[in-house]
Amino acid sequence: MGKSRKKIQIVILLAVLILGGYAIGSTFFGKDRTGFLKVGAEPPEFTLADLDGSVRSLAEFKGKPVVVNFWGTFCEPCVREMPEFERQYEKWKDHNLVILAINLSEDTLTVNNFVNRFNLSYPILRDVNRQTERSYGLRQYPTTFFIKPDGTLMEVKVGGMLEKDIEERVERLLQL
Amino acid sequence: MLTVENTKCECGHQNAVGTVLCESCGKPLLKDLQQSDTPLEMRYDGVARRSQKSNQTVIDKIWSFFSSVKIAIYLIVITFLTAMLGTIYPQESTFINNFDPSTYYEQTYGLPGKLYYMLGLSHTYESWWFIGLLVMIGTSLVICSLDRVLPLYRALNKQQIRKHHQFISRQKTVFAADIGGDPKEWMTNFGTQLKRRGYKVHQEEGQGTALLAEKNRFSRWGPYINHIGLILFLLAILARSIPGWQMDAYVSVPDGDTVKIAGTNYYIKSEKFIIEFYTDDELPEQLQGKARAKNYETQAVLYACVSVCNDPLKEPVLEEVKRHNIIVNHPLVYDGLKLYQFDFDLKPRLNAVNPILEDKQSGEKYGPFYLPMKDSALQHKLGPFTLDLYANYMEFALNSEGKPTTLSREPNAPAFVFTVKGPGLKPEGEPYIYFPMQKDKVKFAQDTINREIADKIQIRVDGMENVDFSEATTHLNVRVDKALPYLWIGAVFSMLGLIMGSYWQHRRIWLRIDDGQLVLGAHTNKNWFGMRSDVAHALKKVGIEIDPKTLDNGGKNA
Amino acid sequence: MSLLDFSSDAFMVAFFLYCFAFLFYVIAIAGKKWSNRDPKQHEKRWGRIAFIVSTAGLVAHLTFFFTRWIGGKQIPTSNMYEFMTFLGMAIMIAYTIVYAMYRKPLLGMFAIPLTIIIVAYASVFPQEVQPLIPALNSVWLKVHVTTAALGEAFFAVGFAAGLMYLLRVINFTDKTKQARRAQFWVEFTLYSIIVIVGFIIAVFGFRFAGYEASFTQEKVLIDNKGQDSTIVDTVNYYLPPIVQPYNSQIVEFQSFLGMDKPLFEAPYWMNGVNAGRKLNTVVWSIIAGTLLYGVLRLILRKRLGAAIHPVMEGIDADDLDEISYRAIAIGFPIFTLGGLIFAMIWAEIAWGRFWGWDPKEVWALITWLFYSAYLHFRLSRGWQGLRSAWLAVIGFVIVLFTLIGVNLIIAGLHSYSGV
């Protein structure tokens, strides 16, 4: 009786340890209740069309520093930021900087008119039915995600930025 | 406290360490217990619980910690006390969006709110310590039950009919008397009476002067079946954290739209949202005039994507899989996916108009042409006229520099700017701004902006049949919960065990007659009142009339 | 006469029959010491009369319930008035079942006033049949509410027997520290019951007098576009406002005993106009209850517990202990089924989640955990008699808080009660 009894005890306690540890552990690593992405987390994948009709996904830029910016023509601070991003892009694109500007599910004509007006050269991606913006837990516009070459988030900036704010962050991103 | 020696009873039975009452004859084994004459503690029939051992290793110690009912009770008490804390302020999980807990609690409730948030009480039920308590309760359920049910099973399975005199006379319900005549015959007669009350009667072979009557033994297993159910229930809850087993999302669908359900391969279309209010004669006086919803439903169609599902350049190929009117309490259910009516929004949304172009000089009308608010065709040919869409705005406004802009991406005040070419107009075309909504036409003075072209042509809608709008937007809650069946199985077991253990009681009566002297002892795990009335009733039938209450030997009412 | 009117009449009949039944129980017990009679015979006779009257009351109550069901075309458990009257009825059913088992008339002396108080409390709420909002239109909800109420009714009977046990065994002449503490808490329990009675009296008193006052409260809301809008909430008081809502203006104020403006304002964290009104009601209940308690003390010239104690003499304390335990043991599975399992089934069907940690759900769970701790204390730790009786009393306080307190306090301070 003694030996098998001991075995049963150990098996049960181990099971408790694993299941209980999993249950308690998942309270620490569960998704943030607020839906915000946390610094250090891997941002959700997306596959979206750009204005030329080719398909871009986040995964293909792995290993490069990526700036993902959500914008819309209806949002004044977003509009103000766009030429600044353009200048930064021109400045750093040889250093492998990638800027992906995801439009907030607007009309094709509206986006085209806007991009032509500012003569933007970095990829403008078209979100469909707000799916990508939802998966990123967006609350306000603009919101910019700075993604390190290893694919994790360096910073989430909610609200508009001045050019020097963008530059400072891009430089930090490039040093990684 | 527990002595290793002296586990052999005088009846010759070798008992396990920790046994209180001899497993065979029931004689108390502990010295101090033998000398007293108070009613015996009959819990688990006095058998040794598995965890009671003298030299303990770490594993033994952990085991006996969780094996203690005292610890189990403490865990229950701590759990409900801490659960109370979580109800002081609303939990974070009650808010759906646009909510930042780090500022909300302080702003709404001041300092107590800030403390509440900082202590983590704003998500009490997801906190590591609360889950930890539940895990410990689960562990305790497993170990406590295991430690008790096996010895109890053994004890009840091999019961001795003839019990020790002390064992019988120290039960909580006792009776003693002198019996005249043949003791075996008396015993058989008494046994028959007990049989009539549903007892299983075992009379000693041979002499026939000892008897054991028992009923509803199965009720002893009730608590353990209940515990098994609770363990299943807790495991099912744990299983919900397996990826893909659970989903809880919201989707908003305006009338007529088809929207992808994120994270699945499904698309949901709302053909129409309908709401019905109570009329005044259906309402009592104080509620009249208030819009009290009687019923609302979403006429929904569920599609599954069959090909081109993840190509942003092409439209996915959809196949209808289910059609259902979603009403509160009647969700759409398809293959584990459930869509619940959650909320609605009665703000109309303009989808498209079918306007005509009127040549004011000739009075000729051309069209109508289809003009959706979003992604319209860029060129429309109408008789001799050509309209090139130059710009469009969802919520038209003038910005700080006086230039046209849009305030949002919702068609709240749509505007279209065309370059119009045709008879009577400049060859390179003339700009024409068109506001589909009458209110905007007036507000932004369409005719003034358009200047002289306004005298030559006009774009307008003829009649409401040429306006397409969504009357409402329905908000649906999307759910997947694969652990549910296991959860209900757990609940059924738990309930079954509770009923078995609560509404039936295990009752046993022991008798022996020595030299014409009868002793009777009876034990039940609940409801002594019923136990006594069983005994008194059987005694009455064999000619001994007593007040049931006099059978009570004192002691506890467990 | 419409069916609903008939139903209301049946309700009044039930109420008065309960009152008479209570009176007869008091005669059955207290009259034992009257001269020229055999105490046993007296108790048996009057006990039977009282039981017959209380059963007649239950029949009238059932008539009320079913005629209202037919007349209103929906089972009457959908608002506070209907639920509380149902709970009162369930207590009478539970009491009748327990009486059939133990045949102890005395139990009625405590169970029936409990029903009377609950039924009177129910009458405070609006009594019209209200058409259902869609969320409440589910068979499972009805099954859940009725079953849970029946389970809770057994807990109420367990409470009545537990309180009787305490009044029976606690020595009110003992001066030791422990005894004094027990005396204090028994007295406090009785006082709390009187405060509830005080609430009912205050509400009906001022309703009869037609008292009214009203306030408005301005609230600035900022929507998600950052634009603010002002919302003006109005609240009507039917008790003279001692406490006005936080940050509110008087619209109408009938002066009461020379008081022509509120004495206090509700604290800032009680936002919402209704929170102020509820606080005012609580203040009035305590005032009325304390006055009533004072009058009783003056008449009896001793503490209520000490006054009731002698009446309980001659009752077997062990029987009370067992009745209390038995009632709870019968109620526990019913409550598990109704209060948790059926509730989960309904929640699953209505909201797509079987459990959402909503305060009401949490408090149902707390009730369940409390009573399971009670059962374990009793079975495994040998907590019987006094301790068990205290737990039965505390348990019912938790039940009442789950039923009433959660709606009144928790959901009242926050605005997320209704879905």
A110 Cβ under 8 Å from any chain B Cβ: yes
Contact B518, B511 (CB under 8 A): yes
Sign of torsion over alpha carbons C189, C193, C199, C205: negative
A12 Cβ under 8 Å from any chain B Cβ: yes
| CA dist., res. B162 & res. B164, Å (int) | 7
Q: What is the DSSP secondary-structure string of B196-218?
A: HTT-EEEEPSTT--EEEEEE-GG
- With a CB-CB cutoff of 8 Å, which residues 15-74 of chain A face chain B? 16, 19-20, 22-24, 26-28, 30, 33-35, 47-49, 53, 55, 72-74
| CA dist., res. B251 & res. B342, Å (int) | 9
CB pair distance less than 8 Å for B378 and A109: yes
| Tokens at C71, concatenated | 């007349």
DSSP state of B483: T
Averaged pLDDT, C106-126 = 88
| Tokens at B156, concatenated | 């009840």
Q: Which residue would you say has higher pLDDT here, C67 or A37? A: C67
CB pair distance less than 8 Å for A16 and B142: yes
B55 Cβ under 8 Å from any chain A Cβ: no
pLDDT digits (tens, 9 = 90+) for A131-149: 888 888 787 888 899 998 8
> What pLDDT score does B321 carry?
92
CB neighbourhood size of C246 (10 A): 18
> What pLDDT score does A2 carry?
59
Domain A47-175 has CATH 3.90.1150.10: no
For residue B88, the one-letter residue type is: I
Tell me the CATH number for domain B246-349+472-481: 2.60.98
Nearest to A23 among B135, B374, B399 (CB): B135
C107 falls within a domain? yes
DSSP state of C401: I
Nearest to B558 among C133, C326, C378 (CB): C378
**Quick one: which of C11, C25, C26, C102 has its CA closest to C59?**
C11
- Determine the residue among B96, B134, B135 to mutate to test chain A binding: the one whose Cβ has the most chain A Cβ atoms within 10 Å: B135
Q: Which residue would you say has higher pLDDT here, C206 or B289? A: C206
pLDDT digits (tens, 9 = 90+) for C65-93: 999 988 888 888 878 888 899 999 999 99
Which of A3-12, A163-172, B15-24, C360-369: highest mean pLDDT? C360-369
Nearest to B502 among C318, C332, C414 (CB): C332
| Tokens at B69, concatenated | 């009912």
> CATH homologous superfamily of domain B164-216+505-551?
Kinase associated domain 1, KA1 (3.30.310.80)
Instruction: Please list the ranges in chain B whose pLDDT falls under 70.
Output: 1-7, 49-55, 96-99, 285-287, 289-290, 555-558
Burial class (CB in 10 A: 0-12, 13-18, 19+), A102: buried
Averaged pLDDT, C210-229 = 69
Nearest to C382 among B125, B285, B556 (CB): B556
Nearest to B408 among A55, A74, A113 (CB): A74
Torsion of CA C123, C300, C171, C395, to 10 degrees: 10
> What pLDDT score does C228 carry?
64
Structural domain span for residue C56: 3-172+303-362
Predicted confidence band of residue C52 (pLDDT cuts 50, 70, 90): very high
B260 Cβ under 8 Å from any chain A Cβ: yes
ipTM: 0.87
Pairing of strands B266-277, B293-307: antiparallel
Predicted confidence band of residue C54 (pLDDT cuts 50, 70, 90): very high
| Tokens at B444, concatenated | 């932004």
For residue C90, the one-letter residue type is: A
* Window from B273-287, C322-336, C386-400 with minimum mean pLDDT: B273-287
C158 falls within a domain? yes
Q: What percent of chain C has pLDDT over 90?
A: 38
- Rounded to a whole number, what is the distance in Å from the CA of A26 to chain B's nearest CA? 8
Total beta-carbon pairs less than 8 A apart between chain A and chain B: 103
| CA dist., res. C311 & res. C31, Å (int) | 10
Burial class (CB in 10 A: 0-12, 13-18, 19+), B52: middle
pLDDT digits (tens, 9 = 90+) for C224-283: 555 666 777 777 888 888 888 777 777 777 777 767 777 777 776 666 667 778 888 888
Domain count, chain C: 1
> What pLDDT score does C294 carry?
94
Averaged pLDDT, C83-112 = 89
Averaged pLDDT, A6-17 = 88
Domain ranges of chain A: 1-30, 47-175
Averaged pLDDT, C169-193 = 89
> What pLDDT score does C411 carry?
55
- Determine the residue among C4, C223, C357 to mutate to test chain B binding: the one whose Cβ has the most chain B Cβ atoms within 10 Å: C357
Averaged pLDDT, A74-102 = 89
- Determine the residue among C315, C324, C336 to mutate to test chain B binding: the one whose Cβ has the most chain B Cβ atoms within 10 Å: C336
Predicted confidence band of residue C291 (pLDDT cuts 50, 70, 90): very high
CB pair distance less than 8 Å for B502 and C330: yes
B269 Cβ under 8 Å from any chain A Cβ: no
Nearest to A55 among B313, B389, B406 (CB): B313
Tell me the helices (H) and strands (E) count for chain C, helix number first: 13, 5
* Window from A32-36, B385-389, B441-445, C217-221 with minimum mean pLDDT: A32-36
> What pLDDT score does C151 carry?
96
Taking phi first (over 0 means left), then psi (-120 to 50 degrees means alpha), and beta for anything else, what does residue A175 get?
A: alpha
- With a CB-CB cutoff of 8 Å, which residues 59-118 of chain B face chain A? 59-60, 62-63, 92-93, 97-101
Helix (H/G/I), strand (E/B), else coil: A142: coil
**Quick one: which of B478, B236, B486 has its CA closest to B334?**
B478
> What pLDDT score does C417 carry?
31
* Window from C34-43, C114-123, C408-417 with minimum mean pLDDT: C408-417
> What pLDDT score does B88 carry?
85
CB pair distance less than 8 Å for B526 and C326: yes
Residue C158 has pLDDT above 60, yes or no: yes
